């Protein structure tokens, strides 16, 4: 058992055997309520280099002495900014405290625009986190066939999937993804933060019900809400 709090967009705090924060985009996030200084965590998982995912990673990692898990190229950058960093890469796992963090594929881009030029953010990624419960945070991604393998191999009980469309899967793709991943609970993310990714999550619920006959449950969270998973 664990507690899961949605902080808005793709930012979640999982409190299982350890406290694990995902993609902490809080400052400048129009829907987020929590302040970076209020967050207490042991680790931060960053899926890719875009600013709506890196967010407040460095300040939160530093003030909590938390370790950041990210793809190699991003990890070097976090280290250079003074954060404790565990660079890793797709397919690999790291045992961290009482949890296990595995990096999996995501189909997206990851370059960072800063000082008027593009810097590499390495490959985009998703995470499988085992910390009392197994959670799949898909990051920003389109649908890819190995989502079925991720479901079969890691057997996540919770899947956090982007549904915002345009930059990631939309509702139809994400519903299909949910049906092949086959987690007990699916939680939509990366929608309605900005007008360009406005979505009605109840349509996601309806699509999944059609595809799985009610076998896969969708939990629509409110920003700031905490649930047991």
Site string for Mn ion, 128-157 (x = CB under 5 A): ------------x-----------------
Work out the number of other CB atoms within 10 angstroms of the CB of residue 214: 8
Number of residues that bind Mn ion (CB under 5 A): 2
Which segment (49-57, 71-79, 149-157, 209-217) binds Mn ion by CB under 5 A? 49-57
Closer residue to Ni ion, CB minimum distance, 9 or 50: 50
Minimum CB separation of residue 23 from Mn ion in Å reads 8
Minimum CB separation of residue 142 from Ni ion in Å reads 11
Determine if 165 is a binding residue for Mn ion (CB under 5 A).
no
Closer residue to Ni ion, CB minimum distance, 51 or 81: 51
Cβ atoms of residues 211 and 203 within 8 Å: no
**Contacts of Ni ion in 13-72 (CB under 5 A):** 50
Choosing from 23, 42, 140, 165, the residue that interacts with Ni ion (CB under 5 A) is 140
Determine if 52 is a binding residue for Mn ion (CB under 5 A).
yes
Closer residue to Mn ion, CB minimum distance, 108 or 216: 108
Determine if 190 is a binding residue for Ni ion (CB under 5 A).
no
| List of residues contacting Mn ion (CB under 5 A) | 52, 140
| List of residues contacting Ni ion (CB under 5 A) | 50, 140
């Amino acid at each position: 058992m664990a507690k899961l709090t949605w902080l808005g967009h793709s930012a979640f705090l999982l409190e299982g055997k350890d406290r694990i924060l995902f993609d902490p985009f809080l400052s400048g996030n129009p829907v987020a309520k929590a302040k970076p200084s209020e967050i207490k965590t042991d680790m931060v998982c960053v899926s890719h280099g875009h600013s709506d995912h890196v967010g407040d990673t460095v300040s939160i990692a530093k003030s909590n002495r938390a370790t950041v898990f990210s793809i190699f190229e991003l990890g070097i950058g976090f280290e250079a900014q003074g954060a404790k960093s565990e660079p890793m890469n797709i397919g690999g796992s790291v045992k961290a405290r009482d949890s296990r963090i595995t990096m999996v594929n995501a189909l997206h881009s990851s370059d960072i625009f800063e000082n008027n030029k593009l810097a590499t953010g390495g490959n985009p990624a998703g995470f499988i986190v085992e910390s009392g419960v197994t959670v799949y945070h898909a990051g920003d991604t389109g649908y890819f066939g190995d989502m079925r393998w991720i479901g079969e191999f890691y057997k996540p009980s919770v899947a956090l999937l982007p549904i915002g469309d345009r930059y990631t899967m939309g509702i139809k793709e994400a519903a299909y993804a949910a049906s092949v991943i086959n987690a007990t609970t699916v939680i939509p993310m990366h929608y309605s933060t900005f007008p360009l990714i406005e979505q009605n999550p109840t349509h996601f619920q309806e699509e999944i019900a059609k595809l799985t006959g009610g076998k896969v449950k969708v939990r629509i969270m409110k920003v700031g809400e905490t649930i047991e998973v």
